[in-house]
Amino acid sequence: MKVKHCRIHNRPAYNSEVHSSRDMGVDELNYQYADYEVTDTIFLVGANPIETQTNLFLNHMVPGMRNGAKVLVVDPRRTVTINACEEVAGKDNVLHLQINSGTDLALFNALFTEIADKGWVDSEFIKASTFADGVAVPEDEAHPANLGSYEAARAACRMSLAEAAEICGVSAEDIAKAAAWIAEPKDGARRKCVTAYEKGIIWGNDNYRTIGALLNIALATGNVGREGGGCCRLGGHQEGYYRPGDGHVGRPAPYFDQLVIAGRGKVHHNWATDHFKTTLNAVAFKREYNRRTNMVKEAMDARAGATREEMVDAIVAAINAGGLFSVHVDIIHTQNAQAAHVILPAVESGEMNLTSMNGERRLRLTEKYMDGPGQAMPDCLIAARMANHFERVLREEGRNEYADQFKGYDWKTEEDAFMDGYHQGNPEVTYERLRAMGNNGVQEPVTGFADGKLIGTPRLYENGVFKRHGREDGKALFMAGGWRGLEAPGKAQQKANHRFLINNGRSNINWQNWFLDQDNDFVSDRFPLPYLQINPEDAAELGLKNGDMAEVYNDVGATQAMVYVEPTARRNETFMLFGAPTGTQGNVINAGTNTLILPNYKQT
Amino acid sequence: MKCDKLVDVGRRQFLRGGVFGATGAAVATMIPATPAKAQSLARLDYPSNRLANVADLKANEPMDIAYPDADSPGVLLKLGSPVDGGAGPDGDIVAFSVLCPHKGWQLTYHAADKTLNCPGHYSRFDCEAGGQQTWGHATQNLPQFLLRVDDKGDIFAEGVDELIYGRLSNVLA
């Protein structure tokens, strides 16, 4: 339908979380997990994989450490991942750069500068595979920094160890040591370093420049497309691996939440997300969403007993007066869906055949083994039945050209949808062939089919040709983006005005936004509320004990959490669980976003 | 109104169910003519096995035991301070399986914070909170052995509150 005003589950616009990596020519999932097992250094940024990518950590990172890899962790919090790495690799082989929240860009630019100044770069790779001549893509509204050559980036990103130490709150010696662990030649050969990042910077300060600055280091040291290398995000939760282009949305994408809050839009379809628990500026969003959907509910209530046509007229009148008609498609009754007028029950993995991929692009078919409840259907078939109705209604109205857009959705099964979608772009891949590949599946992109097996691609860019940005020359671009402080509007003011940082993230025991945890006694017993880790002295000053319920508030809203006194928490820096049904962390996150409408949940 | 204890509602269900509490309370207050018997939470015929005598235990030093049979290793602990569900005259004697409910690795006791720790995947269980998983990968808490202490100070295990790792039934045929 090419709807322009749409958004994704964890961000208030329809956009990539890793624009800059793609703009530089590098897909964000470029390695294979086995690269962790053969590398010299594992570089983790804003990621806590023992809690959030447990299998990757235990089955690939731990073997890597046992094979001698050092571990470098950038995080404002001492996570359980750091503790586990110290247990496995030994404290001397783990370096935790406990930076001030949101200063990653300054750190990465200093590491890049140091590595370049020391000459620890892969000159052959830079020459063969990266853009050589100044600026390739100038900074504009859609590209929040110049993109271009190694030298251009080196000039724009220059940051001394001393400057970075001051900004980041870590010692210059530790930054120099980190640079050596990443890039100093080892036994006369190039050092292998695999870089993994996740929400700490994806949902942190200055997303575009920060991710680009991290990728600069990997590109400069030739650690993309090589064994033991890669520069990848850790997330890989079955996002749409095949979808139509998003050119109609534009860039920057519209800030969807602000449109809803401002009274724009008439009908909202929400598929399998719960914005009430996970969006930023959540107090305002909930208030307006409830107010506008209630206008429609009240209009419907007032016409109880009316004919279908009269009811439609009442709904349309309420919408035209500023109301919002809400349709939700989900497997549970979400908090957001409590404002819905129509709920379409969906099925989930196991109740349907589902293809999905993981963080090393491993595509698998999980086959249906039980029926879904009641009339619940796979999302693709719900969409197809909607399309069928659109076509019918539009034809009845004589709008044949518009109706034609909805032809062809005669899908009866998930496989029909797969064949009309993924298979069209990847003609080798069918359900039958994926079934034969079993639990190991195949790593995308699939390049062929031979001897009864799909042929995948374990690692991207082994040929040194980068085309994710669409450039014909196949040259990767560097990010020429200098440090510019807390970039999202309002963040610097919040920092100045409030004593406590409310850092936030996930825990091992809670899955996503706890949607199924709510009915799981084991999980809800453990954490009936999101926990708030707080330094013991801070807790004592505030009269808080373990298990107390605390109100967390600032200039934009308030929420609640359970006190978790944590000796490793720094003074004035708390950590609260994200996505909880019983305490919405987003209530205290302001509406300001990074460039390209990328939310900054972290520096709150 | 002070409501900061509301989160206690979430603590382990059985602790407010009275089974453990009854054992401890009986010993502590009714003194010993008819010591209360622990009930098993599962519909199983658990053996009543003598594990040790109170006099054998030293505070915060684990004693290796096995229950309900020799293939189910466990640990008997006198914690040194009373806990919910603790047995014995001081209400501080507890016993747990030492097979991690995640993957069956054998747990080791960490006396400093009274936890059982898994060397396999770093899970930790709180011996002062009924074996609650402090952090880890299991989808259940650590199985706790239900204890009865008789008037001679003999400690008997008579039940298990969660499924022991690797078993379809805690008591094997």
**pLDDT at position A245:** 85
Alpha carbon of A550: minimum distance to chain B alpha carbons (Å): 8
pTM of the model: 0.93
Contact A525 B10 (CB under 8 A): yes
Q: Which one of the listed residues B53, B104, B121, B140 is annotated catalytic?
A: B121
> Which residue ranges in chain B fall short of pLDDT 50?
1-32, 40
How many whole angstroms from its chain centre is CA A43?
19
Distance (Å, whole) CA A478 – CA A219? 8
> Is residue B158 helix, strand or coil?
strand
Q: Show residues of chain B in contact with A80, CB under 8 Å.
A: 122, 135
Distance (Å, whole) CA A344 – CA A331? 9
Q: Show residues of chain B in contact with A547, CB under 8 Å.
A: 4-5, 7-8
Cβ-contact A115, A107 below 8 angstroms: no
Distance (Å, whole) CA B26 – CA B147? 12
**pLDDT at position B34:** 54
Give the A:B interface size as CB pairs under 8 Å: 43
- What is the C-alpha end-to-end distance of chain B, expressed in Å? 54
Mean pLDDT per segment of 10 residues, for chain A of length 604 residues? 90 94 97 98 98 95 98 98 97 98 98 98 98 97 98 98 98 98 94 98 98 98 98 76 86 97 97 95 98 98 96 98 98 96 96 94 95 96 97 97 96 96 94 97 96 98 97 98 97 96 95 92 93 98 97 96 98 97 96 97 95
Cβ neighbors of A210 (< 8 A, separation 6 or more) are A104, A105, A108, A201, A204
Distance (Å, whole) CA B155 – CA A576? 43
**pLDDT at position B30:** 42
What is the DSSP secondary-structure string of A352-420?
Answer: B-EEEE-TT-EEEEE---SPPSTT-B-HHHHHHHHHHHHHHHHHHTT-HHHHHTTTT----SHHHHHHH
**pLDDT at position A523:** 94
B121 part of the active site: yes
B102 part of the active site: yes
> Which pair of tokens denotes residue A227?
């064994």
